[in-house]
Chains A and B, each alone.
Chain A
Amino acid sequence: MMKRMTVIALAMFVLASIPGTALAQEEVPERSATAEQREDEFGHREAEWIEKIKTRALEAIDKRLATIDNLQAKINDSETVTDGHAAVLLEELRSSAAGLEVLAGEIRAAEDLETLRALVPKIFEDYRIYAVIAPKVHLVLGGDFGVAVANRLGEVAGQLGDALERLEEAGYDVAKGYELLAEMERLVAQGGEQAGSVATMVIDLSPDDYPDSTEVLRSAHGVMQSAGEDLRAAGDTAHELGRYIKDFFGEADTD
């Protein structure tokens, strides 16, 4: 009896262990499939991320190349920028464009995030197209233009002075006219000097000067605004002097 019970118990034990064994064998294949899926998913996401970064970086480069083209056109179209300033600015823009083109090629060829993380910041840090170069070009063009305006105002002052001399020779008292002329000449000289200093303040700034360059550029713009105020005042004085001269003849406008 005992022997029979032992055999039966042993058989039951064997039978009970079989499903567990089978179940254990089935768990191993499920864990391997999940890990592979995760690796595939990660790789797919990384590839997408790399493409997104490349696209955004290349768009940033294209935008800067378009800005460079625009700045080059403004320099070439300017009739008042000095030859020396134009040469410096155009060479800097040419060099920046060439460098950005090379960088774009490197970014396109990049195959991993680490490489992109090293390349992408160069777009901004090595060229500073918007923080330094563009404002610098605008200020140089504006400053040189202000000098040209001052020169033209000087010509007007000369001709108005000639008119005063002729009136004086004819016996008229033109002391007030000479006061206006002196004021006009003072404003022209002051405005012209300020305008001329603008380009000098910024022409040598480079991307490496950022962020200190920001303050210099803003100061130069302030000088340019001040020059503009003086030159506008000189223009107003010129008109006033013209009316003063006209009053000697007592004629109304015939325009």
Chain B
Amino acid sequence: MAAPRIIAASVLTVALTGCGSQVIDGLNEESTPVAPTTTTSIARTTTTTPGSTTTVTTQGQDTTTTTVEGIEPVQPDVAILLDEIDVLLAQLDHLSTDAAASLAAEEGEFIP
């Protein structure tokens, strides 16, 4: 399907909390019109910044695209951090339980 002349396909990599990175089509009036690229999922750890170029392989051909200015991608490690936070909070619960058990332990004194 032909894309509008001015519309240039561009790719943004956005990593969101708990759901991994996603790619969103955007607009860049200053870029050279190119054939539309297929939306592609990129690995969570990949980031792009406005003005940078990202190479995307589409339909067997390398297509150089330019990220649209405007929305910068969220740092991908936020999702990783939240996963880590969940683990840490579980560990904190465990430590609290250990402390409670320790408080309940008796000295076990005896007198000869």
Contact = CB atoms under 8 A, between A and B. Distances in A.
Interface in A48-64: 53, 56-57, 60
Interface residues of A, number: 61
Interface stretch (B3-11, B29-37, B56-64, B95-103): B95-103
Nearest to B86: A235
Given A135-B99, A253-B19, A121 B85 contact: no
Interface string A188-214: 000000000000000000000000001
Given A56-B110, A113-B112, A130-B107, 6 more contacts: A138-B98, A159-B81, A225-B96, A242-B16, A255-B19, A255-B20
Main secondary structure on A side of the interface with B? helix
15 contacts: A120-B112, A128-B107, A130-B105, A134-B105, A159-B74, A163-B74, A170-B70, A217-B103, A228-B93, A241-B17, A242-B82, A251-B19, A251-B24, A254-B22, A254-B41
A132 to B, nearest CB: 9
Interface of A: 53, 56-57, 60, 113, 116-117, 120-121, 124-125, 128-131, 134-135, 137-139, 141-142, 145-146, 148-149, 152-153, 155-156, 159-160, 162-163, 166-167, 169-170, 214, 217-218, 221, 224-225, 228, 231-232, 235, 238-239, 241-243, 245-246, 249, 251-255
A137 B16 CA distance: 39
